[in-house]
Structure 1
């Protein structure tokens, strides 16, 4: 019985030593640690917006739509279209409130020729950039 206890204790100490060595190697290798429970929950409840364009290429002042959905944003939250002009994001006069489902659709007409970078902002979130070329 005593021999069994010693073997169990030795196995347990070996496992703890190996876990510490692996954890230390992961920390020093630059591999990010998995998020803690509190941080993972914070990421899951963070506001987010999606954005999609109905056209990749349009004529100047031709109407197209930018639509998407809002996650973790209250119904009726205003969302605004922004266009990158030089190095700045400029808010355009295209704003609407999200529906109860979190979805939105904006009608857009652009006059600046070339590739236009667009995004949606609102409720503390920023959507990914959508690109549309104006001929």
Structure 2
């Protein structure tokens, strides 16, 4: 009896996962069927939330390897999603080993230390979603 309940829960979670993907803008095609269910009117479908990330450093200038914080909020990302700090190096965005999960309210906070002296162009990313670029000067 218990194993049947668990398998039912798993099936429901799996179905909700597919619905979430469809709402996130991923196309999910169903095979054609002569017994298809009637579609819902447009008023009953939820629009997909556009993902977004904000980022704000606690300082604009630091000494090399001095700790500072980057905080921000996200929209359209689920709680627990990872946001990663990227640094522009020689014209290419490089992911740094600095990743934190998004909280239930969509916020995040990360402690950072940089050693590359000069102006550092930084951004936060999660998948294909990126924050606007922000700068921290390391002296």
TM-score tier, shorter chain, comes to 0.5 to 0.7
Answer whether contact 1:73 1:123 (CA < 8 A) is retained: no
Identify the match of residue 69 of structure 1 among 69, 73, 79: 73
Q: After TM superposition, give the deviation of residue 123 of structure 1 in Å.
A: 4.5
Larger Rg: 1
TM-align CA RMSD: 1.5
Q: Secondary structure in 2 aligned to 1:101? A: coil
Mapped pair 1:104 → 2:108 = yes
Structure 1 moving runs of 4+ over 2 Å: none
Matches within 5 A, 1:46-125: 46-125=50-129
| Structure 2, unpaired ranges of 5+ | 1-45
* In 2, Cα distance between equivalents of 1:68 and 1:109: 17
TM-score, normalised with respect to structure 1: 0.66
* In 2, Cα distance between equivalents of 1:69 and 1:124: 16
Q: After TM superposition, give the deviation of residue 69 of structure 1 in Å.
A: 0.5
Deviations 1:71-118 (A, max 9, x none): 011111000000000110000010010000010011100000000000
* In 2, Cα distance between equivalents of 1:105 and 1:47: 18
Higher helix share: 1
Q: After TM superposition, give the deviation of residue 64 of structure 1 in Å.
A: 0.3
TM-score, normalised with respect to structure 2: 0.65
Deviations 1:41-64 (A, max 9, x none): 96x721000000000000000000
* In 2, Cα distance between equivalents of 1:122 and 1:47: 9
| Structure 1, unpaired ranges of 5+ | 1-40
Aligned residues: 94
Answer whether contact 1:77 1:123 (CA < 8 A) is retained: no
